[in-house]
């Protein structure tokens, strides 16, 4: 009788492990640009002047930072959380993680409203 009980318990655990239900370890936080291990997702982002752009660290991210070439304030080195910057002027804003160098870099392209951004119709 013990073997039958053990078998039922094992089947129940296996069924729970195959569940498609929600999990606590979702690796995709809410943000415009996701900071993953050694890359930004997406690497190039288009925003409209006046937009706030949010970088969000994925749950499995190592320590990274956001440093802009235009010397604007960036993020501290961190392994979780978010960082936001509002872009008021049009232009190209290259940034990188100084911990990982140019291999981990991206650009925010800021366009004026109505100037052909991907959301203009």
Instruction: Output the domain CATH number for residue 96.
Output: 2.60.40.420
Residue 46 falls inside a structural domain: yes
Least trusted range by pLDDT, from 18-22, 74-78, 106-110: 18-22
Residue 121 falls inside a structural domain: no
Question: Is there a contact between 89 and 49 (Cβ–Cβ < 8 Å)?
Answer: yes
Residue 116 falls inside a structural domain: no
97/74 Cα distance (integer angstroms)? 10
Span 30-77, pLDDT tens digits: 999 999 999 999 999 999 999 999 999 999 889 999 999 998 999 999
pLDDT at 84: 98
| Number of domains the chain contains | 1
Q: What is the pTM of this model?
A: 0.72
Per-residue pLDDT band for 17 (boundaries 50, 70, 90) equals: very low
Residue 104 falls inside a structural domain: yes
Residue 6 falls inside a structural domain: no
Residue 22 falls inside a structural domain: no
State the greatest distance between any 2 C-alpha atoms of the chain, in Å, as a whole number. Answer: 74
Q: Are strands 82-86 and 67-68 parallel, antiparallel or unpaired?
A: unpaired
Residue 8 falls inside a structural domain: no
In the predicted model, what is the mean pLDDT of the chain? Answer: 81
Q: Is the pLDDT of residue 12 over 60?
A: no
Range of the domain at 81: 27-111
């Amino acid at each position: 009788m013990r073997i039958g009980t053990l078998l039922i318990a094992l089947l129940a655990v296996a069924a729970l492990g195959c569940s498609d239900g929600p999990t606590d370890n979702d690796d995709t936080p809410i943000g415009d640009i996701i900071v993953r291990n050694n890359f930004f997702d997406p690497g190039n982002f288009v925003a409209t002047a006046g937009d706030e752009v949010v970088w969000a660290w994925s749950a499995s991210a190592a320590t990274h930072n956001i440093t802009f070439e235009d010397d604007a304030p960036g993020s501290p080195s961190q392994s979780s959380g978010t960082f936001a910057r509002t872009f008021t002027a049009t232009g190209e804003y290259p940034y990188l993680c100084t911990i990982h160098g140019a291999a981990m870099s991206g650009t925010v392209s800021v366009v004026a409203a109505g100037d052909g951004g991907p959301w203009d119709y």
